């Protein structure tokens, strides 16, 4: 087996036993990137030199616990000091931050090896990575298909073995959905669990940085590293961070799992529904109690999301005005023209659409009918979950309504594209933690099961996910990429 095929914990073991050096590991991953990146296009920027430098330093210094020496990638919406960060947008094509996001600094402290910045839908707005201003990323399981989005690059790179793990961001499903499409583990933590400092905001009350990894143990290791309070983020919560690996027992006897009937309706592929039902039976066999529940306001989550998120985005993206950084139309003769033309040139169509939508929803005369209304509906959705979690430990559902679709298949059909988020958005509305993990295949394409927990109870999610994973083989499957291509 190649080093790039191993999980973080397997690599860690080898490093600790001095069976391999960090440089050897790094070179294996860089070789893999050479092998497949041209087809995959998961990266915006590959930092090969920096990575080798870091690897050399690591080998020369003292071994570091945690994620030391493990190669990783960061979604290109996470600011990295001195390394170009573009949000996959022309607006920031040449932007080089002079500060690190909190999560980037944490992984650097751990002496991880940064292999590069990963592709996304521009400014995290999209479900397929086709909205990247540079190029779409492809699904390692089928290069004609999308990897999902907006953290498509982050998921594809992990699935293809270009990085051992990655960080993405999830606002309406942008970690869980691509993780499901690419057959890897994707975790969106509870809102407030991980600091948003240095992560370019899309929708402030939904955005969370999360983990994409090959298996559940890796996910726990990475969450250990990045979770915690940050005084620079007023929405980051001051709650102790447990050792998430301590939840990786296989004992889930008596665990109460609910599955909401609204997530198993016609809009979801029947084969996918079947796979999740199989998974639920599996949970029962492992000793869990599984029961059907109702989350009656589920169908209203998506329309509410597509009012609130764009509204916040319209304000969050207003800072991109060409004055202090980013693209500027230098010919503009006055400031209004400068703003309007710089932004027109810098933003792609989906970003423009959402800014327009959000601006409209907040504008005078429409605020009550749209934005305020959506905030009220948000409370109803959150309350649905609160009610269910009074009696259950976890909620399980499919992550996506379909498997990965073909590139170009949905780009003209806006509402269909938005429907990809229908099963993930409610979790962001309620600020809950949610994980997608592989639970089978349909026509050779991966399917993800979504496990949702109570606020700050990622531990129970890990417990159930690990139990499922260790009693199945889905996490061992690998795409046959780079062979015969």
Partner 1 sequence: MDREFETVVGLEVHVELKTATKIFCSCSTAFGAEPNTQVCPVCSGFPGALPVLNRQAVEYAIRTGLALNCEIAEVCKFDRKNYFYPDLPNAYQISQYDQPICRNGYLDINVDGQHKRVGIIRAHLEEDAGKLVHQGSITTTPYSLVNLNRCGVPLLEIVSEPDMRSGAEARAYLEKLRSICLFAGVSDCKMEEGSLRCDANVSVRPKGSTKLGTRVEIKNLNSFRSLEKAIEYEARRQIEALEDGEELIQETRTWDEEKQVTRSMRSKEEAHDYRYFPDPDLPPLHIDGEWVERVKSSLPEMPDQAQQRLSNTYGLSDYDAAWLTSTPETLNFFDQAVQCFPDAKAVSNWMMGDFSRLLNQHNMEITDSKVTPQYLADMLRLIEKGTISGKMAKEVFEEIFFTGKSPEDIIKEKGMEQISDQETLQKIIDEVVASNPKVVEDYKNGKEKAFGFFVGQVMKATRGQANPALVNSILKERLMRE
Partner 2 sequence: MAISVKQVEQVAYLARLELTEPEKQLFAEQLSSILDYANKLNELDTEQVEPLNHILPIYNVFREDIVQPSPPREDILSNAPLVEDGQYKVPRII
Any idea which residues carry the catalytic annotation? 75, 150, 174
Which pair of tokens denotes residue 413?
A: 């059909």
Residue 45's nearest CA partner among 6, 94, 8 is 94
Asked if 335 touches partner 1 (CB under 8 A), the answer is yes
Q: Does residue 430 touch partner 2 according to CB under 8 A?
A: yes
Give yes or no for residue 318 binding partner 1 (CB under 8 A): yes
In the complex with partner 1, the residue whose CB is nearer, 351 or 464, is 351
Closest CB to partner 2 among residues 72, 347: 347
**Strand, coil or helix: 14:** helix
Task: Give the residue carrying structure tokens 């996506």.
Answer: 400
Is residue 237 close enough to count as binding partner 2 by CB under 8 A? Answer: yes
d(CA 295, CA 274) in angstroms, rounded, equals 20
d(CA 298, CA 294) in angstroms, rounded, equals 9
Among 108, 271, 300, 482, binds partner 2 (CB under 8 A): 300
Site string for partner 2, 182-211 (x = CB under 8 A): ---------xx------------x------
Q: In terms of CB distance, is 204 or 245 closer to partner 1?
A: 204
CA-angle at 147, arms to 479 and 483, nearest 5°: 25
Our finding on whether 369 is near partner 1 (CB under 8 A) is: no
Angle at 11 (CA atoms; ends 461, 99), nearest 5 degrees? 75
3-class SS of residue 194: strand
Rounded-to-integer distance, Cα 167 and Cα 175, Å: 9
Query: What mask of x and - would describe binding to partner 1 in positions 208 to 247, judged by CB under 8 A?
Result: -----------------------xxxxx------------
Q: How many residues lie near partner 2 (CB under 8 A)?
A: 67
Q: Is 178 in the site for partner 2 (CB under 8 A)?
A: no
Hey, what are 148's tokens? 């999902």
Query: How many other C-beta atoms are found inside a 10 Å radius of the C-beta of residue 200?
Result: 26
For residue 216, the surrounding DSSP H or E stretch is: helix 216-226
- Both tokens of 42, joined, read 């998961």
Closest CA to 163 of 296, 29, 363, 60: 29
Binding site for partner 2 (CB under 8 A): 94-96, 98-99, 191-192, 205, 231, 234-235, 237, 297, 299-300, 303-304, 306-307, 314, 318, 321-326, 328, 330, 332-341, 343-344, 347, 349, 352-353, 355-357, 359-360, 363, 370, 372-380, 382, 414-415, 418, 430-431
Binding site for partner 1 (CB under 8 A): 78-79, 85, 87, 92, 95, 97, 99, 101, 196-201, 203-205, 231-235, 311-312, 314-315, 318-319, 321, 323-325, 335-336, 339, 359, 362-364, 367, 371
């Amino acid at each position: 087996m190649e080093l790039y095929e191993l999980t973080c914990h397997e690599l860690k073991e080898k490093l600790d036993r001095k069976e391999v050096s960090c440089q050897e590991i790094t070179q294996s991953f860089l070789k893999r990137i050479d092998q497949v990146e041209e087809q995959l296009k998961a990266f915006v920027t590959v930092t090969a030199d920096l990575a080798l430098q870091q690897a050399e330093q690591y080998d020369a210094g003292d071994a570091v616990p945690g994620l030391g020496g493990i190669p990783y990638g960061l979604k290109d919406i996470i600011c990295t000091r001195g390394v170009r960060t573009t949000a996959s947008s022309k607006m920031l094509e040449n932007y080089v931050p002079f500060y690190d996001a909190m999560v980037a600094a944490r992984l650097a402290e751990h002496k991880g090896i940064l292999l590069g910045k990963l592709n996304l839908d521009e400014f995290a707005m999209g479900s397929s990575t086709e909205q990247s201003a540079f190029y779409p990323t492809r699904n390692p399981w089928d290069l004609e298909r999308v990897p999902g989005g907006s953290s498509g690059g982050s998921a594809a790179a992990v699935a293809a073995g270009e990085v051992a793990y990655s960080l993405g961001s999830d606002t309406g499903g942008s970690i869980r959905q691509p993780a499901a499409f690419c057959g890897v583990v994707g975790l969106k933590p509870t809102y407030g669990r991980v600091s948003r400092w240095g992560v370019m905001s899309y929708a402030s009350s939904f955005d969370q940085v999360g983990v994409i990894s090959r298996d559940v143990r890796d996910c726990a290791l990475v969450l250990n590293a990045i979770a915690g309070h940050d005084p620079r983020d007023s929405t980051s919560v001051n709650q102790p961070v447990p050792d998430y690996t301590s939840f990786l027992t296989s004992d889930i006897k008596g665990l109460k799992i609910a599955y909401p009937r609204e997530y198993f309706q016609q809009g979801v592929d029947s084969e996918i529904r079947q796979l999740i039902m199989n998974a639920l039976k599996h949970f029962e066999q492992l000793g869990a109690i599984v029961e059907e529940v109702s989350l009656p306001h589920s169908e209203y989550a998506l329309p509410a999301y597509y009012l609130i998120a764009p509204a916040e985005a319209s304000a969050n993206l207003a800072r991109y005005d060409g004055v202090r950084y980013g693209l500027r139309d230098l010919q503009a003769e006055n400031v209004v023209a400068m703003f309007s033309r710089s932004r027109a040139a810098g933003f792609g169509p989906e970003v423009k659409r959402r800014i327009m939508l959000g601006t409209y929803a907040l504008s005078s005369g429409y605020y009550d009918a749209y934005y305020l209304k959506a905030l009220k509906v948000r409370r109803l959705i959150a309350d649905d979950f609160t009610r269910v979690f009074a009696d259950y430990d976890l909620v399980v559902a499919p992550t996506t309504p379909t498997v990965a679709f073909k590139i170009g298949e949905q780009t003209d059909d806006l509402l269909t594209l938005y429907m990809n988020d229908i099963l993930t958005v409610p979790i962001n509305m309620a600020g809950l933690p949610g994980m997608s993990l592989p639970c089978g295949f349909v026509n050779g394409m991966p399917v993800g099961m979504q496990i949702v927990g109570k606020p700050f109870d990622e531990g129970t999610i890990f417990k159930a996910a690990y139990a499922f994973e260790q009693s199945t083989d889905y996490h061992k499957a690998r795409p046959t990429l780079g062979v015969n291509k």
